[in-house]
Chains A and B, each alone.
Chain A
């Protein structure tokens, strides 16, 4: 299913012009929500803005080296399990800082997504659904941008901080929700291109240009006022606001001690950027950490990658809490799948989706709990088995929405989450 109002361009570069196009396109939509109509949504926002932070461990982090260690078993690998801030809950020794955050975390150990392909696994974990030939489902980020987003927010609703790449907008992520809710990638955490006023344009000239455009718009609107023209005008205002927020993208504004706490490596910088964006009003921020696809030397690579992940992640939770944001920010740490309990001949672990784990924290999440259980060698879920659909319901429920509601597209109801699944109650506050 395609968005009936999309601009159709999926490859435009990230820029002010890109935002403008997205904003105009989004405003042209015929989409409506039964449960999330604008006035009700605005009232809810007035009470408390909610937001989401997704940490994406790209390539498939090992559950045995993170949330579900099995030391001393044939599949356990060389690492030990360490106690956490919650008595009785142990996680892998590679996460000592995260272990001190366990009272804020809920670990889901009963995940069986039954999909060992990177792309298909990522799709499940982002949409809560399996890929279907006739239907494209929106990413959680796009759904949250739609449900939680503020029309006056100059920041993109779904921001994706990537370790590298060219940045840009991915309209496909929004599926039928339309490009307004597409993910906007910030490559290596850099600000969108063309965010600053061009060097050759003085502030005065820019102001005069803006004033002239307003006059022209007003004249045009007197005879041809439509939703489209209003959106067009509004998008310029949003762009101007975004330009005024350009400091959000500059972590040099942070005290050096804070930068040090996050770590002066890419993932540390990106986590700090995520905190700045969330604090600055962003709705959904995804931070990708690469890479965990450890078919070879799984243990050495997990030492290195989790050594980068652990402290910035823990720092981020601390700082969100210190700022009073954690209770209104849903945090999730996920991958496309886990890794095989069996250790291969090259000290590697391969793709494994039958029994793996993710972690949650923050808004609507009960801290210090573990949901689901795997057997002694981690080869199968023995209790509390869930799949991607359950996770999607859980995210929505944690954010305070009924996950059984529908989107409506041209009067056709589309369940927001897989109707065959339900929230994981044990992890909900």
Chain B
């Protein structure tokens, strides 16, 4: 198992390399000149040219790419912001807590609201509870997060004045952003849990469990749910990715100074090092989450664990043989 984890961690290196090449290339071909953006509209062409040379922007694509990769992967330096007098890494680390808090809270909402909704729907298939849960879920997957965010602000902040409309501070500042961001996740979680549970409930081993004399409650939580978990965990993992992406939008709506805001502002300002650093950071977090999901699979389903371990055994055998 540990070998598998180490192997997967090593695999992250080529993934991150790929991400940085792609994002660097996109930024390279983007119209707009950072030098001009820094100096402003009034700058003379000669001054802009001098700035370009100073920043190394006159170098050919390959040279710039390699020097960027060298800087990031060999010196662990994401570069400095063009406008703020700060390294990108410290900028990211400073803003990271906000983004992670929102993503984690959303995750908890998704798991602890979405899963029970799905179980309720599955156990009352075609009944009233099922219909109600599925209508909520349908609304959830259909409503865009930013629209919901604005409606929530309109109602709870502007009209009722219960919660702050934007900014950061105590926990009350996180309530609306999290609800807006998590709703879609809750919905897809509920739908996945329902269909996965429905499939499992019809399995032969559920009949076996019933024939053993177990109560319906034990059948549901000891036999059905553990078997339904694999697709549910997949949705949780994907949801985490969605949340990270969603925070970009939500942070803008609520003016939360997280990674998302940091990156979107940088895009507007053509502050390329921040854009690349932010994307790379989100990519790394996403890869780690996916690894975590795969590790959780192994603990939920012994067959998958055997597969992970089996791969290594097979390789060892073929090496010896």
Q: Do A and B bind each other?
A: no
